[in-house]
Amino acid sequence: MIGLRVRTVSDRAFAVGLGLKGLDGIGEVVGGLWLLLLGPLRLQAWIGALVAPELRQDPDDIIATHILHWAAQFDQGSVLFAAIYLLSHGVAKLVVIVEILRGRLWAYPGLIWLTAAFAAYQIYHMAVAGPSFAFVVLTLFDLLIIALTVVEYRKLRHHAGG
């Protein structure tokens, strides 16, 4: 079993990044399941209850009214798409992370390609819808994970003799 070797700064950064990606994957799976169970009407009601205190205090609050308007646009199809997106992304991410922890060399290119595909989608989304702080940070983090994974994979291949 190869597993993770944490010796250098890049090894530590990779281990921390992998841990954060794992937590993100768990959050995506939980969020996707939550969306499937909640559905659009309960989601809208939940968001309405969340912003209601702010709107009672300031009926013209721009953030609260924007969130409420955004939630009102959810229909069954958009909630289902979001749930499937989160579940597929989370499960795929967790599979490659677990396999990296189990020492499977194939999982390193798997993580690279998977993360690159989602980063490409995020870049496309920002090009179409405009950048948001969250998408910029997430994309930069993904690019860092790709670079760290490439470094770790090369080290492991070198140590494995191939």
Question: pLDDT for 72-85, tens place per residue?
Answer: 888 888 889 889 98
Half-sphere exposure of 27 (CA within 13 A, CB side): 6
Provide the pLDDT for residue 32. 93
Task: Report d(CA 154, CA 148) in Å as an integer.
Answer: 10
Average pLDDT of the residues in 130-137: 88
At residue 116, does pLDDT exceed 90? yes
Q: Are 122 and 138 in contact (CB under 8 A)?
A: yes
Name the pTM for this structure: 0.76
Secondary structure class of 6 (helix, strand, coil): coil
Task: Report d(CA 25, CA 33) in Å as an integer.
Answer: 12
- Closest of 67, 11, 28, 18 to residue 44, by C-alpha: 67
Residue ranges of E strands in the chain: none
Task: Report d(CA 151, CA 57) in Å as an integer.
Answer: 52
**How high is the mean pLDDT of the chain?**
89
pLDDT per position as a tens digit, 135-157: 899 899 999 999 999 999 999 88
At residue 128, does pLDDT exceed 60? yes
Secondary structure class of 13 (helix, strand, coil): helix
Provide the pLDDT for residue 162. 57
